[in-house]
């Protein structure tokens, strides 16, 4: 093998005093070679992003700082550089792409100027013509028009292309990509991964690619380093790591990735229908003005679906497809403007306000964000018992029930006196599930319940949901963008696209023989779809 | 086209708001005890019922309140602000005469406050935790907490009475007829102390706001992107951090415009500045209903105009706000 572009030797990064561990990264070593993509994969808190920041000289110093080791690049130890020397490397020799395309660009500066800026900062000639070339190189449509665009005029995928144009403007030797596709929809993600792959091989760059997603690793990596608690536990070629993982942690992580092979499901044809939605519609209108046309967005159009007792229906689609709107209409958090919502044969749309209350407790929701969806000022016990108390259960009775529920979701019943911030994301999601179950609902609406969780925690929460559903014979509407999760969890799946359900069927049938072109595109975009995680 | 539409829409709304303000002011002022007739009669030493009711009849105060309101609003719609019986002059003439002085004072103070406030805020934010930061923060809190009139009086004592650097009152040197550049300089000399005093309170607000906003923006993703590009610190500060941090300051400046006009009443009184603020104070003491309402009307127009301008400026500096679309 040729000489490494970048050699990381024994790098240790200290965390500020009072953190949960002394080092974010501890004694890690790896090489990055020319013309390769090295994936640094791990769960949140594994230290992978801080490693990337250290290579770029962008650690939030002085609170987080490298305390030992070397970053060797062209014979120099980067850890000894001063800020001026770093500045000549950043942008010119090292390019970086970040996770959040929505926030990584300056909202009040034209995108063309944001690209131009990096050329000017390094005294590069070419100016506006180079900007046009770069916009073309990242396959942005209509670059001429984009010249005057601001970031908010662009979609997430387009913004990420602009970021890539900025990172590659000066033909850097090394590209650092920190979860560059995590915030993108699956079809956009596939395009951006292909673009990174293409540009990397055209330019023979070394790419350090940070991700938590083994599907993405399977799609893009040449070599893989697995990080856990600040250490690299396994390092090897993609085949070695994905197909023959040696370390116990890697094996566990890979096992936790849901496969795209839906398990056999028992048919539910003869079971009673719990929920039947017919022709549901919801249109958002912005208020028009004297000189301003009103804007109309159909978030849900003629949505028809049904869920039987004990059945899980998956509602899948990309962001903005209307799946959350449908969920919220069913639980009557928002009012739909067309259609029927028959719940045990009663049309919920016929009720308003107080009349709806008896049904409120029978349909409950589990939310996506385990941090935002629990009131930080309420104790866990209050959060879980608030619903039953509102429906007339005595406080002592409700508290007793809260403790039982905590046990049911795998938490210690004594935690009723603690506050949400004392729990991890996965534990909070368990609390959210306990809260939803407190009213003994017939129907659960789970809106991306595991999207914010790490893959191993995600597996635990999914197991818990499956277990509870089976024990209580619950029906569930499971809203998700993650087709791997849908494959494992759902009995049937409905695919939403631009407010409409374009295809609906049993999970096995839909995954094996998709008929609608959009469903096919969606399935084709799943990263690492040819890589089968072993069960 | 979008921007023109926006202005047209806002102007229509403003007319409605102004009418509401006029009606409210008219009714509120009648709630205060005493009226112009009783004050004039009292001063003339002839406060007998007959004389007062004669005056009331003359001023139109004997008519039912709704009729008076209708007459007044009818006048305002035709840009007729009524007659000051006290001063025997048209209200429009009186406030029109005083308006330039108030505009000069408030606009100067506004610019000063914004410029100095933002400057100090940036200084503090880029030197967080140093003595400079502490000084700005403590001074800002101090000025924020001190009443305006007190700052004004102390400034007069120090800079005019003791040091003799600047004049203590008025808008120009009395008894000297000046023209051209000499007049401009003379007015500017008189303007320094009142404008600074009025500005000082707002400097404190803008400095604190800018500091907080800068610190928030500094940690944002796009600032990290700017660093990853290898930009120089000065460029990052100007084009990325400050450019975004200034936005909430501009919004707040618009909201504060009303307070600035209110503050000018105090300052004009303390410094004998011949603006509408002082006119309002005098009119209030004399229960000169029409004059007072005229001043209120004009200040409302000023505040609404200030806000409209702020919104327009905001739409220019923040491309995400697309007015009219």
**Considering chain A, what percentage of its residues have pLDDT values greater than 90?**
56
Query: How far does the CA of residue A198 sit from the closest CA of chain B (Å)?
Result: 22
pLDDT at B174 over 80: no
Which pLDDT belongs to residue A219?
A: 92
Enumerate the β-bridge partners of residue A312.
Answer: A476
pLDDT at B324 over 60: no
Query: How far does the CA of residue A368 sit from the closest CA of chain B (Å)?
Result: 23
Which pLDDT belongs to residue A434?
A: 92
- A303, A232, A253: which is closest to A39 by C-alpha? A232
Instruction: Indicate left, alpha or beta for A157 from its phi (over 0: left) and psi (-120 to 50: alpha).
Output: alpha
pLDDT at B176 over 80: no
Q: Are A135 and A159 in contact (CB under 8 A)?
A: no
Enumerate the β-bridge partners of residue A30.
Answer: A8
Enumerate the β-bridge partners of residue A209.
Answer: A39, A177
Q: Measured between beta carbons, which residues in chain A are less than 8 angstroms from residue B222?
A: 103-107
Residue B137 to residue B158: CA distance in whole angstroms: 24
Length of chain B: 325
Which pLDDT belongs to residue A288?
A: 56
Query: How far does the CA of residue A56 sit from the closest CA of chain B (Å)?
Result: 7
Q: Kindly state the tokens that stand for A427.
A: 């534990």
**Partner-chain contact B227 A290, CB within 8 Å:** no
Mean pLDDT of chain A: 89
Query: How far does the CA of residue A119 sit from the closest CA of chain B (Å)?
Result: 9
Q: Measured between beta carbons, which residues in chain A are less than 8 angstroms from residue B224?
A: 58, 98, 104
Which pLDDT belongs to residue B14?
A: 87
pLDDT at B325 over 50: no
Which helix (H) or strand (E) is A378 found in, with range? none
Average pLDDT over residues B110-135: 92
Mean pLDDT of chain B: 85
- B236, B263, B249, B239: which is closest to B208 by C-alpha? B249
Nearest neighbour of B5 by CB, restricted to A108, A163, A292 = A292
Average pLDDT over residues B281-296: 84
Q: Measured between beta carbons, which residues in chain A are less than 8 angstroms from residue B16?
A: none
pLDDT digits (tens, 9 = 90+) for A23-51: 999 999 999 999 999 999 998 888 999 99
Q: Measured between beta carbons, which residues in chain B are less than 8 angstroms from residue A96?
A: 225, 228
Query: How far does the CA of residue A97 sit from the closest CA of chain B (Å)?
Result: 8
- What is the pLDDT confidence band of residue B47, given thresholds at 50, 70 and 90? low
Q: Are B232 and A117 in contact (CB under 8 A)?
A: no
> What single DSSP character describes residue B158?
I
pLDDT digits (tens, 9 = 90+) for A61-94: 778 889 999 999 998 999 999 989 999 999 999 9
- What is the pLDDT confidence band of residue A436, given thresholds at 50, 70 and 90? very high
Which pLDDT belongs to residue B323?
A: 57
Which helix (H) or strand (E) is B210 found in, with range? helix B180-218
A contact test, residue of B13, B16, B229, B237 with most A CBs within 10 A: B229
Tell me the backbone φ, ψ of residue A416, rounded to 5 degrees: -55, -25
ipTM score: 0.82
Nearest CA in chain A to B5: A291
Residue B203 to residue B184: CA distance in whole angstroms: 25
Which pLDDT belongs to residue A147?
A: 79
- B160, B175, B164: which is closest to B270 by C-alpha? B160
Residue B260 to residue B253: CA distance in whole angstroms: 9
Tell me the backbone φ, ψ of residue A34, rounded to 5 degrees: -60, 145
More confident residue, B230 or A424: B230
B contact test, residue of A84, A96, A104, A115 with most B CBs within 10 A: A104
Strand order in the sheet with A273-285: A296-308, A273-285, A338-343, A346-347
Which pLDDT belongs to residue B178?
A: 77
Residue A175 to residue A202: CA distance in whole angstroms: 13
Q: Are A177 and A213 in contact (CB under 8 A)?
A: no
Average pLDDT over residues A370-374: 85
pLDDT digits (tens, 9 = 90+) for A150-188: 998 888 888 989 999 999 999 999 999 999 988 888 888
Nearest neighbour of B227 by CB, restricted to A90, A107, A292 = A90
Does the CA dihedral B53-B57-B63-B65 come out positive or negative?
Answer: negative
Question: Which residues does A contribute to its contact with B (CB < 8 Å)?
Answer: 56, 58, 86-92, 94-96, 98, 100, 103-109, 117-118, 121-122, 150, 152, 163, 166-167, 289-292
Q: Are B292 and B29 in contact (CB under 8 A)?
A: yes
Nearest neighbour of B230 by CB, restricted to A87, A108, A289 = A87
Residue A488 to residue A505: CA distance in whole angstroms: 15
Neighbours of A176 (CB within 10 A): 27
Residue B206 to residue B125: CA distance in whole angstroms: 13
Which pLDDT belongs to residue A535?
A: 41
Residue B139 to residue B133: CA distance in whole angstroms: 10
**Partner-chain contact A91 B8, CB within 8 Å:** no
More confident residue, A101 or A269: A101
With H, G, I as helix, E, B as strand and everything else as coil, classify residue A226: strand
Nearest neighbour of A103 by CB, restricted to B221, B247, B320 = B221
Which pLDDT belongs to residue A292?
A: 54
Which pLDDT belongs to residue A532?
A: 63
CB–CB contacts below 8 A, A to B = 93
Instruction: Indicate left, alpha or beta for A322 from its phi (over 0: left) and psi (-120 to 50: alpha).
Output: left
């Amino acid at each position: 093998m040729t000489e490494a572009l970048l050699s990381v030797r024994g790098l240790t990064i200290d965390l500020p005093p009072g953190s949960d561990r002394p080092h974010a990264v501890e004694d890690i070593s790896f090489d990055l070679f020319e013309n390769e993509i090295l994936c640094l994969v791990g769960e949140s808190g594994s230290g992978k992003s801080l490693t990337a920041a250290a290579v770029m000289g962008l650690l939030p110093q002085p609170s987080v700082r490298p305390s030992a080791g070397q970053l060797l690049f062209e014979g120099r130890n980067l850890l000894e550089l001063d800020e001026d020397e770093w500045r000549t490397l950043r942008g010119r020799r090292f390019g970086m792409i970040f996770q959040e395309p929505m926030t990584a660009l300056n909202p009040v500066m034209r995108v063309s100027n944001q690209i131009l800026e990096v050329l000017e900062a390094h005294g590069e000639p070419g100016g506006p013509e180079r900007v046009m070339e770069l916009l073309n190189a990242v396959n942005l449509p209509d670059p001429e028009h984009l010249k005057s665009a601001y970031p908010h005029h662009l979609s997430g995928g387009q913004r990420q292309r602009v970021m890539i144009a900025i990172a590659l403007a000066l033909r850097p030797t090394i590209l650092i990509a920190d979860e560059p596709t995590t915030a993108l929809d699956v079809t956009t993600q596939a395009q951006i991964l292909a673009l990174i792959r293409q540009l990397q091989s055209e330019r023979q760059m070394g790419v350090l690619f940070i991700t938590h997603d083994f599907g993405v690793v399977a799609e893009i990596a040449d070599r893989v380093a697995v990080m856990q608690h600040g250490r690299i536990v396994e390092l090897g070629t993609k085949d070695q790591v994905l197909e023959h993982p040696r370390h116990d942690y890697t094996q566990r992580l890979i096992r936790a990735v849901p496969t795209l092979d839906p398990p056999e499901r028992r048919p539910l044809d003869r079971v009673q229908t719990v929920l039947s939605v017919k022709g549901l519609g919801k249109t958002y209108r912005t208020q028009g003005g004297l000189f301003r046309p009103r804007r109309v967005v159909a978030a849900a159009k003629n949505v028809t679906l049904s869920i039987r007792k004990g059945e899980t229906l998956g509602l899948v689609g990309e962001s903005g497809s209307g799946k959350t709107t449908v969920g919220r209409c069913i639980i009557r958090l928002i009012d739909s403007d067309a259609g029927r919502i028959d719940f045990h044969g009663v049309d919920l749309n016929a009720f308003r306000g107080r009349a709806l209350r008896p049904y409120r407790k029978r349909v409950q929701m589990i939310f996506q964000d385990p941090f935002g969806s629990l009131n930080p000022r309420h104790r866990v016990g209050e959060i879980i018992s608030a619903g039953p108390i509102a429906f007339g259960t005595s406080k002592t009775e409700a508290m007793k029930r809260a403790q039982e529920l905590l046990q049911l979701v795998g938490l210690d019943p004594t935690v009723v006196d603690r506050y949400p911030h004392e729990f991890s994301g996965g534990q909070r999601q368990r609390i959210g599930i306990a809260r939803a179950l407190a009213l003994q609902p017939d129907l659960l609406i789970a809106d991306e319940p595991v999207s914010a969780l790490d893959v191993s925690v995600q597996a635990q929460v999914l197991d818990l949901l499956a277990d509870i559903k089976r024990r209580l014979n619950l029906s569930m509407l499971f809203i998700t963008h993650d087709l791997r999760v849908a494959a494992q969890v759902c009995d049937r799946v409905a695919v939403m696209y631009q407010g409409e359900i374009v295809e609906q069927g049993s999970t096995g049938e839909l995954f094996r023989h998709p008929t609608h072109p959009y469903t096919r595109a969606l399935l084709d975009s799943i990263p690492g779809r040819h890589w089968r995680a072993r069960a | 086209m979008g921007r023109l539409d926006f202005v047209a829409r806002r102007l229509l709304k403003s007319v409605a708001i102004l009418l509401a303000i006029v009606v409210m002011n008219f009714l509120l002022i009648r709630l205060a005890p005493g009226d112009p007739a009783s004050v004039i009669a009292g001063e003339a030493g002839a406060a007998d019922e007959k004389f007062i009711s004669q005056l009331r009849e003359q001023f139109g105060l004997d008519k039912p309140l709704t009729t008076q309101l209708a007459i007044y609003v009818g006048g305002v719609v035709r840009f007729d602000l009524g007659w000051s019986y006290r001063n025997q002059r048209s209200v429009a003439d009186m406030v029109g005469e005083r308006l330039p002085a108030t505009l000069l004072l408030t606009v100067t103070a506004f610019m000063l406050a914004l410029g100095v406030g933002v400057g100090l805020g940036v200084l503090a934010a880029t030197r967080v935790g140093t003595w400079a930061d502490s000084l700005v923060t403590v001074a800002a809190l101090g000025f924020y907490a001190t009443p305006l009139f007190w700052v004004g009086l102390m400034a007069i004592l120090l800079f005019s009475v003791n040091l003799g650097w600047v004049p203590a009152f008025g808008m120009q040197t009395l008894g000297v007829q000046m023209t051209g550049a000499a007049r401009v300089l003379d007015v500017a000399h008189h303007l320094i102390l009142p404008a600074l005093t009025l500005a000082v309170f707002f400097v404190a607000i803008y400095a604190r706001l800018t500091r907080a906003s800068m610190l928030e923006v500094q940690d944002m993703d796009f600032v990290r992107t700017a660093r990853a590009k290898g930009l120089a610190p000065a460029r990052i500060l100007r084009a990325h951090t400050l450019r975004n941090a200034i936005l909430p300051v501009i919004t707040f400046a618009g909201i504060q415009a009303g307070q600035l006009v209110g503050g000018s009443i105090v300052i004009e009184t303390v410094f004998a500045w011949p603006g509408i603020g002082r006119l309002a104070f005098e009119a209030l003491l004399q229960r000169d209903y029409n004059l007072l309402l005229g001043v209120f009307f004009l200040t409302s127009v000023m505040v609404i105009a200030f806000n409209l301008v702020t919104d327009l400026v905001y739409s220019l500096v923040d491309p995400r706000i697309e007015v009219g679309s």
